[in-house]
C-alpha cells in the first residue's frame, strides 16, 4: 500500500497517451490547489508515454510511477488497481487526454469539506460538469449536462442515478470512506466511476453535483469511454443492448434493482425525464 502524505491522491491510468498527456500534466501543475501527489500506472504503452512521464519526474517529486508487473488491465481495472494500492484521505481520477481548468481541484475540495461537515465517517463523492472539446481543445459543448439534458434535481431517485452512469470519473473527488465501500468491486461493474457512485448511494453517502464545468473533455475519436458509435444501425443497436445487459447485471448484483421489469421501467422514465 502506497501511503499518500498529501491531502489528495490524483490517480492517472495511462495507455498510449503521447499525443495529449503533456497538456494534461501541465494543467495539473497549474492548479490553484497544490496539496496533491500524482500516482500513475501505465498499462503497457507502446508509444512514448512513459518517456514523457520520466521527463516530468525529473523536474518534480510530486509524480510517483507504480510498477505494472507486465499486466495490461484495460481502463477500468487500471484505475481500480491504482485506487486499491494508494492510501489517501481523498482521491481524484485523471484521464491522460483531458485538460483540467485551473480551479478544478480547489473548487471540488471546497465542496467536499462542506459536505463532510467535519466527519470522515460518511462516503462523499463530488462530481462536476465539463466542457466537451475537440482534439485541438476547441469547445464543442459548453455544458455536457445541458447537451444530454441532465439536471441533478430531476434525477434525485437513487435508482435513476445508479442506472444512468452519469458520474464522469475524471470530474470526481471522493473521500477514503467512499473508497472503502466500493471494495470489493462487483465482477459485473461496468466502469470504475459508475461503480463507485453506486456504492456511495448504497451505503447512504452523499453525491454532490456541481453544475460548473471544471475540465475540458477531449473528443478525438480514440476515447476509451464516451463513444459508442458503430458502423451501422444494427451494430449500434447491438452495442446498446449489450451495454444495458451489463448495467442490469451490475445493478442486480448490488441489489439496486429487484427485477428486469423494474430496470426497464426506470430506463423509460429516464428517457421521459430527459425529454421533458
Residue 28 belongs to domain with CATH number: 3.90.550.10
Question: Can you give the residue range of the structural domain that contains 210?
Answer: 2-275
pLDDT at 231: 57
Taking the complete model, does pTM exceed 0.85, yes or no? yes
pLDDT tens-digit readout, 251-274: 888 888 778 888 888 888 888 877
pLDDT at 229: 43
pLDDT at 225: 54
DSSP assignment of 110-158: HHHHHHHTT--SS-EEEEEEEEEE-TT--EEES-HHHHTT--GGGG-SH
Which residues of the chain carry a pLDDT beneath 70?
A: 221-231, 276
Nine-digit cell at 43?
A: 498499462
Q: Are strands 99-100 and 206-218 parallel, antiparallel or unpaired?
A: antiparallel
pLDDT at 214: 98
pLDDT at 227: 46
Domain count, the chain: 1
pLDDT tens-digit readout, 24-41: 999 999 999 999 999 999
pLDDT at 250: 86
Amino acid at each position: 500500500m502506497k501511503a499518500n502524505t498529501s491531502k489528495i491522491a490524483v490517480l492517472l491510468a495511462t495507455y498510449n497517451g503521447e499525443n495529449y498527456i503533456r497538456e494534461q500534466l501541465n494543467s495539473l501543475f497549474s492548479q490553484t490547489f497544490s496539496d496533491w501527489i500524482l500516482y500513475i500506472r501505465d498499462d503497457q504503452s507502446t508509444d512514448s508515454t512513459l518517456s514523457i512521464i520520466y521527463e516530468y519526474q525529473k523536474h518534480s517529486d510530486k509524480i510517483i510511477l507504480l510498477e505494472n508487473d507486465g499486466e495490461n488491465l484495460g481502463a477500468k481495472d487500471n484505475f481500480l488497481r491504482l485506487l486499491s494500492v494508494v492510501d489517501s484521505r481523498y482521491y481524484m481520477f485523471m484521464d491522460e487526454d483531458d485538460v483540467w481548468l485551473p480551479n478544478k481541484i480547489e473548487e471540488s475540495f471546497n465542496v467536499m469539506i462542506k459536505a463532510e461537515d467535519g466527519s470522515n465517517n460518511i462516503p462523499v463523492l463530488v462530481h462536476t460538469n465539463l466542457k466537451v472539446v475537440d482534439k485541438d481543445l476547441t469547445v464543442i459543448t459548453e455544458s455536457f449536462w445541458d447537451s444530454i439534458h441532465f439536471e441533478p434535481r430531476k434525477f434525485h431517485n437513487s435508482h435513476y442515478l445508479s442506472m444512468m452512469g452519469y458520474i464522469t470519473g475524471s470530474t470526481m473527488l471522493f473521500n477514503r470512506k467512499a473508497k472503502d465501500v466500493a471494495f470489493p468491486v462487483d465482477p459485473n461493474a461496468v466502469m470504475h466511476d459508475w461503480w463507485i457512485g453506486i456504492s456511495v448511494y448504497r451505503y447512504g453517502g452523499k453525491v454532490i453535483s456541481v453544475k460548473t464545468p471544471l475540465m475540458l473533455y477531449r473528443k478525438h475519436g480514440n476515447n476509451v469511454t464516451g463513444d459508442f458509435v458503430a458502423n451501422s444501425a444494427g451494430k449500434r443497436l447491438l452495442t446498446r443492448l449489450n451495454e444495458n445487459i451489463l448495467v442490469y447485471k451490475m445493478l442486480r448484483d448490488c441489489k439496486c434493482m429487484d427485477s428486469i421489469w423494474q430496470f426497464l421501467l426506470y430506463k423509460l422514465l429516464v428517457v421521459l425525464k430527459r425529454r421533458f
